[in-house]
Amino acid sequence: MTILSELHPLSHSLFSQHNVRVQIKRDDLIHPIISGNKWRKLKYNLSYVKQHKEFTGILSFGGSFSNHIHALAFACFLEKIPCVGIIRGEAQYADNFTLSWARHWGMKLHFVDRKTYRRRHENSYLIQLQKKFNGMYIVPEGGSNSLAIPGVSEVITELSQQTEFDTLLTPVGSGGTLAGLITGDCLSNDNQHKLLGVSVLKGGEYLVDEVQTLLPETASTHKNWHLLLDHHCGGYGKFTPNDIKRLLAFSQETGVDFEPVYSGKMVLALLDKLAQGYFSSGERIVLLHTGGMQGLGGMVERGLLTASDWPTPVRVDDT
């Protein structure tokens, strides 16, 4: 699948008021299922496994509403690669929105308790899993590994053909997307752009190290990336009724849908930073829409959001 995701201008009264130009890179439209940063991060992981026949498939990790698990299951289905998801939580989640699709596409689910799940970076545990599942290639949670970096860096290659800009905003969960963007920016530009990562987690300071660890040597010279730590709305997956109100109003005015766990927090960060006068007059900003819209299915299912307000994805049972 070759991708060149669309870039659209966004219009909003606050943008003219603060004299900024905002465009949005619609990675969410890359594919109806493997959307956003998912395809970018998985692309070279999938081709690596296809080239290395010694691997029997792909094994990865995620929570029971994980965008990564959902996208990986479908990507492996398309590429005919067997896959296993090590899922944090109880087997009762197997029928939820996200996991029912993952099972539908053939992913084998293996549920573990929180204590076991915390071992997901330990070598001894990974060796144990490799034995148990007969030599699968292990992709870390969120798909953020060294093979994710060249895939994400292509966002910058595309952008340099599409527009000129000063600042790029992206949500940050595990750090792979931001690390890929920094890498791409080092490869493509003499004048490095300002890259702003919005931590969707409370206490996201540790993500600076995570991003740095993922950066290849060629990208260690980038000095203009920053992590914004105060826009997590209370923590991962959390939001207040007012956050939702602001996000829906933004979607209504711009005509672009977001979800409140990742891309929505980037939007709220943009609005807050505009109000604080953070951006210069005339600044040209690009928002990276990283997708994740499947997550709305689980949030509506759990009663956290009202179905009528959101573009709710289709359930397996409804097909």
Ligand X SMILES: Cc1ncc(COP(=O)(O)O)c(C=O)c1O
Hey, is 71 helix, strand or coil?
helix
Instruction: In angstroms, give the least distance from the CB of 279 to ligand X.
Output: 22
The residue range among 15-23, 169-177, 223-231, 232-240 that interacts with ligand X, by the rule CB under 6 A, is: 169-177
β-strand partners of 1 = none
Count of chain residues binding ligand X (CB under 6 A): 18
Q: What are phi and psi of 38, to 5 degrees?
A: -65, -50
Q: Site for ligand X (CB under 6 A): which residue of 82, 151, 175, 297?
A: 175
The interface with ligand X within residues 56-75 (CB under 6 A) comprises 67-68
Amino acid (1-letter code) at residue 196: L
Which residue in 286, 282, 280, 307 sits closest to 296, CA to CA?
A: 307
The residue range among 118-126, 168-176, 276-284, 307-315 that interacts with ligand X, by the rule CB under 6 A, is: 168-176
Residue 183 tokens read as 């890498």
SS3 content of the chain, % helix, strand, coil (to 5): 50, 15, 35
Of 147 and 172, CB closest to ligand X: 172
Annotate each residue in 123-162 with x if it binds ligand X (CB under 6 A) or - if it does not, as one string: -------------------x-x------------------
Helical (H) or strand (E) element with 247: helix 241-254
Q: What CA–CA distance (Å, rounded) separates 5 from 72?
A: 20
Q: Site for ligand X (CB under 6 A): which residue of 177, 185, 227, 264?
A: 177
Of 18 and 41, CB closest to ligand X: 41
Task: List interacting residues with ligand X (CB under 6 A).
Answer: 36-37, 67-68, 142, 144, 171-178, 262, 290-292
